[in-house]
Amino acid sequence: QVQLVESGGGLVQPGGSLRLSCAASGFTFSNYRMSWYRQAPGKERELVAYITATNSNANYADSVKGRFTISRDNAKNMVYLQMNSLDPEDTAVYYCSARWELARRYYWGQGTQVTVSS
């Protein structure tokens, strides 16, 4: 069974840091582009960052550029999102996603809540 399991969410103060993890299983992890999305109440789902399958090139939304870092460890089937200088506007449910576009294979985790508040 394909699984993407996020962890590391929680409550953090503004300016603080948090590291999200996503554990993948049930598919060939190294073949997939991995992404982090987030969705806040009443707002559209937003792509936060992605990292490519071939050479691990990373891209970021403008809103998080310079503050967040996505990385992957193919040996461990893990993808991470290091979040620094957190702001209340970063509050959202964060989802891990795996994509193999040519095969139309799209997998999603259940999400982990990140709350940035004093």
Provide the 3-class DSSP secondary structure of residue 2.
coil
At a CB cut-off of 8 Å and minimum separation 6, what does 55 contact? none
DSSP code, position 14: T
pLDDT tens by residue, 13-42: 999 999 999 999 999 999 999 999 999 999
Nearest-Å Rg of the Cα atoms of the chain is 14
Share of the chain above pLDDT 90, in %: 97
What are the Cα distances from residue 39, in Å, to 35, 74, 95, 97? 13, 26, 8, 13
Q: What six digits make up the tokens of 80?
A: 């991470």
CA 69 to chain centre: 10
pLDDT along the chain (118 residues), means of 10: 97 98 96 97 96 95 98 97 98 98 94 97
